[in-house]
Structure 1
Amino acid sequence: MLRIARLGLLLLVPTAGFAADCTQAPNQMEANACAAQSFAEADAELNRRYAALRDKLDGNGRQNLVAAQRAWIAFRDRECDLRTGYDATAPEANGTIMPLLQAACRTQLTRRRSDDLAAQIKCPGGDLACTP
């Protein structure tokens, strides 16, 4: 979780002091800021759906959801490292485009997870007969 918080800070730092026009990002710093904004929006939607599903589950279901979500976050972060070629041992070697690549990947995977949670809201608790 701490790693996620650090990434969030890294992605948001470039946004301080200016408002990026995300329809036309003329430089890397603004493009990174726009990607970070997209990720923040996707993450907020994921959190809303997570909370809605959690509220529908019993104690065992909530426990399973928490464990699954933690595992999914670790998967998402490593998958995006793999997809983008991120090098945690030499962060300075990743280049100025890396925040954009990481945010875009995390946005894509977060939206997919959000859709999965939305489907589970309609069919909670392992009802295999339910089709969302």
Structure 2
Amino acid sequence: MKNLLFLLVIFPSLSFAANCVNPENSDETWICLNKQTKTTETQLASAYQKALRGLDVEDKKNLIAAQRLWVRYKEADCNFISTNIGKADRALGQAYGRQCANERAIQRTNELNSMFK
């Protein structure tokens, strides 16, 4: 329970949904993380599709290549975080990895939205 509380203090965005304000166990925390993942990935996909619209063929190719590299970066970066923290507590490491991916997706969504208004 201490780990969950610590996780919520470090990542307050975990409490973005009413049911996720105060998860009582690791199962509830995972439910919250999964809800957040679904939301952030949907928003990212929408921003990406919006960005692709209106680009010429060459710019589309460049954005697709950049997005593929960004996905690889996100996966590697969050895997490092998950693995590093997971040395002490595997479940906590997995939660940090998932939260990392959510935060990276939010950042990328904001980047795409600001570039392609």
TM band (smaller chain): 0.7 to 0.9
TM-score for both structures, normalised by structure 2: 0.75
| Residue from 86, 99, 103 that aligns with 2:98 | 103
What aligned pairs does 1:1-132 form with structure 2 within 5 A after superposition? 21-85=19-83, 95-122=90-117
Q: Which has the higher helix share?
A: 2
Bigger-Rg structure (1/2):
1
Amino acid at match of 2:20: C
Computed over aligned residues only, the root mean square deviation of the Cα atoms, in angstroms, reads: 2.4
Q: Within 2, Cα distance between the matches of 1:29 and 1:99?
A: 13
One-letter amino acid matched to 2:58: N
Aligned length: 100
Report if aligned partners of 1:56, 1:121 keep a CA contact under 8 Å in 2.
Answer: no
Matched AA of 1:95? R
Residue 64 of structure 1 aligns with an amino acid whose one-letter code is N
Runs of 5+ consecutive residues of structure 2 not aligned to the other structure: 1-17
Q: Moved runs in structure 1, 4+ residues, more than 3 A?
A: none
CA distance in 1, matches of 2:94, 2:31: 9
Which residue in 1 is equivalent to 2:12?
A: none
Q: 1:8: which partner in 2?
A: none
Q: Is the CA contact (8 Å cut-off) linking 2:82 and 2:94 kept in structure 1?
A: no
Q: CA deviation at 1:94?
A: 6.2
C-alpha distance in 2 between matches for 1:94 and 1:57: 45
